[in-house]
Structure 1
């Protein structure tokens, strides 16, 4: 049985930008999400010519932010009211990783 899944949008897009749309794990807080995301990052940059990989999260989701930073994502800013969840508009923290950053992490 899988530990979870990652949904990507824009795989091999002409804009060379891929979005991590969703990450879901069976048991949060045990490193499964981080491992799934690390595998997705590797796959995107190895199998496509993507230049930018981005992800959004609620600013108060500190556990997710730590996991995303651990695999190389950098916070870029807050998109105000851009997430519509349970009938409410919420702010979204935008994080991204660029190909040169991934290459540097991978080589060193």
Structure 2
């Protein structure tokens, strides 16, 4: 899937994979790829600016941790990040329900009867 598919949803994806606990950048990339069944691939040039922005917004915090011989910057959700993730999930469910009701008329709760003949 192309990077365009991620645009507009990147924050929610990052917050979601960090919900379970702190991860470093490569682990975040791997988690998104694994959870999407390989359909989504993040590039470091996309990931790190987004992580930095989310940290500036107070949705993430980071610190340096040792991983064997290496030190890696690990990111984790703040309380504000958890609230933002809950809001993103609610908005996503509304969005997908609305799109689904247009693409599959008669399948969703928003389906309305057609005009009278």
Q: TM-score, normalising length from structure 2?
A: 0.33
Query: Which structure dedicates a bigger proportion of its chain to helix?
Result: 2
Greater radius of gyration (CA): 2
Larger % of strand: which? 1
